[in-house]
């Protein structure tokens, strides 16, 4: 069966945006302090609820804001990475994700994905192609899963509007008390004209719902007991 024929045809009746698995940490400190990078406006707290904080900031040259969401979980690094790498589970937790498919794997840490994102009528559904790169710091144990759009790496599908610009990341940072800080940050240009009211709502709803779903799903046995050879828990790093 072809990749596209396997996608469910129904739409998800909710707010749309890019639902991206994983990906891009560009020099963020392990403390994960929310600050400007000198090029963009300061982060603004947009929502703080149920242990999840969502921030947004303006991006120079873009009409759409960048979002950043943070939470702290009692979980394992391998559990979080196992969930992020399970493309079949993506529609269960990534906001408005219809389907995610792995289309190329250069190594356990370097992959190319194809994703379809549902949008409410009359906005066209989007698709995206992006490469992810996982890096783990040998000292702190912090994991960064970087993401960058690679729009031309997969044939255009006429049914969808291709997202051509996107970068973001997941970051999992072990804490001294055994908890893990989760950071999810993305900026994208979905193209095609997005109503301002929708764009403003989506940059808050997307990361909030995605993190909330992640927190629930990562507790399932398949992820809680996951063992990944390319990921090291802090105890393993301390023993070396």
How much is the mean pLDDT over the chain? 81
pLDDT digits (tens, 9 = 90+) for 152-186: 888 898 889 888 888 999 999 999 999 999 999 99
214 pLDDT band, cuts 50/70/90, is: very high
Give residue 3's pLDDT.
Answer: 47
Phi, psi dihedrals of residue 125, rounded to the nearest 5°: -65, 150
The radius of gyration computed from the CA coordinates of the chain, to the nearest angstrom, equals 17
- DSSP assignment of the chain equals --TGGGS--PPP-S-------S----S--TT------SSSPPPEEEEEETTEEEEEE--TT-SSPEEEEEEEESS-HHHHHHHHH-GGGHHHHSTTEEEEEEEEEEETTEEEEEEEE---TTSPPEEEEEEEEEEE-TTT--EEEEEEE-GGGS---TTSEEE-EEEEEEEEEE-TTS-EEEEEEEEEE--S---HHHHHHHHHHHHHHHHHHHHHHTTSHHHHT---TT---HHHHHH-
Domains along the chain?
15-29+39-239 (3.30.530.20)
Please choose, from the candidates 116, 163, 118, 127, the residue with its C-alpha nearest in 3D space to the C-alpha of residue 16.
118
Pick the most confident of 2-11, 24-33, 80-89, 193-202: 80-89
* Percent of the chain predicted with pLDDT > 90: 55
Residue 19 has pLDDT above 50, yes or no: no
127 pLDDT band, cuts 50/70/90, is: confident
As a whole number, mean pLDDT of residues 54-83 equals 94
pTM for this model (two decimals): 0.81
């Amino acid at each position: 069966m072809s990749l596209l024929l396997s996608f469910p045809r129904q739409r998800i009746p909710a707010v749309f945006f890019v639902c991206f698995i994983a990906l891009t940490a560009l020099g963020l400190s392990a403390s994960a302090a929310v600050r400007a990078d000198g090029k963009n406006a300061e982060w603004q707290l947009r929502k703080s609820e149920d242990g999840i904080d969502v921030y947004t900031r303006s991006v120079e040259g873009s009409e759409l804001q960048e979002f950043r969401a943070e939470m702290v979980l009692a979980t394992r690094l391998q559990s979080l990475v196992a969930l992020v790498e399970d493309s079949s589970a993506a529609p269960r937790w990534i906001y408005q994700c219809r389907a995610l498919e792995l289309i190329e794997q250069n190594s356990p840490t370097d992959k190319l994905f194809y994703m379809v994102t549902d949008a409410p009528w009359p906005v066209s559904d989007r698709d995206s192609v992006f490469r992810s790169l996982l890096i783990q710091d040998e000292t702190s144990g912090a994991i960064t899963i970087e993401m960058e759009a690679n729009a031309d790496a997969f044939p255009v599908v006429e049914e969808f509007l291709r997202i051509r610009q996107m970068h973001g990341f997941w970051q999992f940072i072990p804490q001294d008390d055994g908890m893990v800080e989760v950071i999810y940050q993305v900026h994208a240009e979905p193209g095609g004209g997005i109503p301002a009211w929708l764009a403003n709502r989506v940059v808050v709803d997307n990361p909030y719902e995605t993190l909330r779903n992640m927190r629930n799903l990562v507790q399932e046995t398949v992820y809680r007991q996951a063992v990944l050879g390319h990921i090291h828990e802090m105890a393993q790093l301390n023993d070396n």
